[in-house]
Structure 1
Amino acid sequence: MAGPVDVLLVGFGAVGAMYAFILQRGGLARVSVVARSNYHVVKEHGIAISSRKYGDTKSWRPYRVFNSVAAALDRPYAFVVIATKALPDVGQKNSEVLAPLLSPSYAFPQPAYVIMQNGLGVENDLFHAADVASSGNPRVILASLYIMANLVDGGVQHEDVDRLIIGVCRKSSARENSADETALLEDFAALIRAGGSDAQVTHEIQGIKFSKNVWNAVFSSCATLARCGLSAFFQQPELEDQVTPIIRAMFHEVVAVGRALGYDETVIPTSAIDASIAETVFLNKRPGSRHKPSMLLDLELHQPLELDVILGDLIRRARILSVDIPRIETLYALLSVVQTQLISKPAQTAVTPKASHCPNCSLGIPDQCVLT
């Protein structure tokens, strides 16, 4: 890439703000941002970023700020990053959020799309839409994120971990990246690395995404259903003895789906189940532990949950493969009741930390721990 390239980032929460900051910090990208709910504040005052890794910036601003995708169609983009919540079941599909870019009225070549979202199947509708818009040559990058960042009082609090693993979505069943795919991935990774962050390229992003979703499917769902942080699960020995076997059984159910999908011990090691549970217990038994999974935070703010992409897609795959996961199906059914109530009521104003992404326990990825 010669000179700075234009990047459009959609979704200016904790993750979106940090990666906009990282991309622009490297000097290889001009970052335009679509900030919807916080547009006026960011436009007028920028956003405060407090980071153990990158230091404190009181009023950081991206290159440009827009309040909609439609307002940002004045130029070609090398990459379009979507960092919104993944909520296809409540009418927020990625292809609909990015529709102006995918329309024939967009006067420039189709960009490469980068999906920075939790869950499974988050790429499906966008990949199909990009396939149509690009006349059969879609370029869609899927990312697995490991970052510790909160939105607090309108600013971002970031610790010292921010890591991406990226791979391409493809039509074929090829297991290795082509030369063109490798070049595309390395081009985006170079932008991230220039900003001081870590980006790794893989040929097997689907397995890595599934591995990361194991923790979310169990611990995030249980905490949200119980409406309390995970420290409450493990502070009393008697309660821990009751809860832990159930959690372990849930982990085994999710891993069984992974096995049926073809993810072997090299992708999801069975030994990581107990290691993941043990580390989660250890971290949440510490005095003063206050971490809450982001799904629980969404519930506390009366905002829709990323339920379909964390549990719904998993269950659909299990049914196709005839894998019995009754505990996970129970979680999904009960949380669906909660989701219905959230959708029928207006969201509250966010005054507490939002979208916590804590590296705590990533199943199958050694030395990376993710609580999101």
Structure 2
Amino acid sequence: MSAPSPQILTVGSGAVGSLYSWRLASSAAVTVVCRSSYDIVTKQGFTMTTQKFGDATFHPDHVAKSVEEAVGLNNGRPFDFILVTLKALPLEYDVSKMIEPAVTRGKTTIVLIQNGLGIEEPIVQRFPDNPLISCAAYVKPGHIKMVIPNEHLVVGLYKPSKVDSSQQRQVFVDLLEKGNVDVDLTDDIEQLRWQKLFWNASYSSVCTILQTDTTGSKLAKNTLVNVIRDVARAANANGYEFDEQEQVDLMIGMTEGKAEGYKPSMLLDYERKQPMEVEVILGTALRRAKEKGVAVPYLETAYDLCTALNALNLRSKM
């Protein structure tokens, strides 16, 4: 008798969630929580258009409007993995509380595929005995219909976790690779998250404040440089060893070489009048710098301005 398929719950039905749910479904049973898109996905599935994997219509095993409904649809079977692909918006909702009905204590592995720094902390606090895998995705998706030339997922461990999740990580990686996902491993996901912040904290904030793409952000190059330097100082105060000038040269060179005319997701959220990921891209790094007594004035200014823009933008939507 063959082993039962791993049971996976995906919370977040946007482009990243639907992409990785589709790939995992080749060797696992997948339930997807959809809120606004529930009726469409129930009737039509997800329309996937990718250069790497081809085109397909993906129908999950179950589609639910809420985590509670997903638990009921799974007929008492515990979930082996919960995949969280929601935007990281701690001021809008608590992911740990949201997924709690589907978590079997000590068994369910929680997988985070989200942007930003510090996203793991609420999960570890609420579920200290559960395995935790934290991932960084490198894709450029649209909405449900995607044209993706490539994708790349870094699957990492979160060092402050009390649970050794290496075994569960290998199981998850095996499932991804069966779906032809490109996977790299890291044993310190926070180091990678700091690395991603050099670009996200600088270009995302400057582009959003100026309401321009990466080409227009050159008009504020000094601010870009100083935010990158501030993030490096914050990271190094928290145990890392990033070279400030090296990161400045790397981020600016990479952007000018490969990302001219690009709009960061923070700016796109602002234009759509959606909540922006200010806290996890700017706020956590700022707080960690202050905890270590490190002055980061440019990062603090970027945080203050983006926080204000976010509040004003959401208020205008009401």
Q: TM (normalized to structure 1)?
A: 0.79
Distance, in Å, in 2 between the alignment partners of 1:162 and 1:4 is 24
What is the SS of the residue equivalent to 1:56?
Answer: strand
Checking the alignment, whether the CA contact within 8 Å between 1:143 and 1:164 is kept in structure 2 is yes
Once the two structures are TM-superposed, the CA of residue 109 in structure 1 deviates from its matched residue by 6.3
Q: Deviations over 1:127-168 (max 9, x none)?
A: 11112xxxxx221111122122111xx422222223223214
Per the TM alignment, residue 117 of structure 1 is displaced from its structure 2 partner at its CA by: 0.7
- Assess, with a 3 A threshold, how the Cα gap between structure 1 residues 336 and 168 changes in structure 2: closer, same or farther: closer
Q: Distance in 1 between matches of 2:141 and 2:125?
A: 31
Once the two structures are TM-superposed, the CA of residue 21 in structure 1 deviates from its matched residue by 1.1
1:48 match: 47
CA distance in 1, matches of 2:62, 2:117: 31
Task: Indicate the residue corresponding to 2:141 in structure 1.
Answer: 149
Q: Deviations over 1:285-311 (max 9, x none)?
A: 4xxx4x211111111110100111111
1:87 paired to 2:79: no
What amino acid is aligned across from residue 149 of structure 1 in structure 2?
P
Amino acid at match of 2:253: A
2:137 aligned counterpart, secondary structure: strand
After superposition, the C-alpha distances for 1:35-68 in whole angstroms (9 at most, x for unaligned) are 11211111111121111100112x3212211111
Q: Which amino acid aligns with 1:125?
A: P
Q: Is 1:121 matched with 2:111?
A: no
Conserved? CA contact 2:206–2:217, under 8 Å: no
Within 5 Å, give how 1:193-212 maps onto structure 2. Answer: 193-212=177-196
- 1:216-236 CA distance string (max 9 Å, x none): 1111111111112112234xx
**In structure 2, distance between residues paired with 1:86 and 1:71:** 22
Paired residues for 1:99-178 under 5 Å: 99-102=100-103, 110-131=107-128, 137-151=129-143, 154-171=144-161
Is the alpha carbon distance of 1:121 and 1:56 closer, same or farther for their aligned partners in structure 2, counting shifts above 3 Å?
same
SS of match in other structure, 2:17: helix
Residues 1:274 and 1:109: Cα distance change in structure 2 (over 3 Å): closer
CA spacing shift, 1:28–1:54, aligned 2, 3 Å: same
What letter matches 1:72 in structure 2? A
- The answer on whether the counterparts of 2:34 and 2:65 sit within 8 Å (CA) in structure 1 is yes
Taking a change above 3 Å as real, the CA distance of residues 257 and 339 of structure 1, as seen in their structure-2 partners, is same
Using the TM superposition, give the Cα deviation of residue 342 of structure 1 relative to its aligned residue in structure 2, in angstroms.
3.1
Quote the offset at 1:269 in angstroms: 7.4
The equivalent residue for 1:354 is none
1:245: how far off? 2.7
Q: Is 2:310 aligned against 1:308?
A: no
Residues 284 and 231 of structure 1: CA distance in aligned 2, closer, same or farther (over 3 Å) = farther
Indicate conservation of the 8 Å contact 1:17/1:156, yes or no: no
Contact 1:10–1:83 (CA under 8 A) maintained in structure 2: yes
Give the residue type in structure 2 aligned to 1:145. Answer: A
243, 255, 260: which one aligns with 2:232:
255
Greater mean deviation of Cα atoms: 112-121 or 245-254: 245-254
2:154 counterpart SS class: strand
Tell me what 1:76 maps to: 78
2:313 corresponds to: 342
SS of the equivalent of 2:116 reads: coil
Q: CA RMSD in A?
A: 2.1
Deviation of the 1:125 alpha carbon: 1.1
User: CA contact under 8 A between 2:232 and 2:244: conserved in structure 1?
Assistant: no
Q: CA deviation at 1:270?
A: 4.7
Q: Give the fraction of aligned pairs with identical amino acids, expressed as a percent.
A: 29
Q: Which residue number in structure 2 is paired with residue 362 of structure 1?
A: none
Letter in 1 for 2:298: R
In 2, Cα distance between equivalents of 1:2 and 1:202? 29
The one-letter amino acid of 2:232's match is V
Work out which of the residue numbers 64, 67, 83 in structure 2 matches 1:66. Answer: 64
The corresponding residue for 1:365 is: none
Letter in 2 for 1:95: S
Letter in 2 for 1:60: F
Mapped to 2, the partners of 1:163 and 1:264 lie a distance apart of: 24
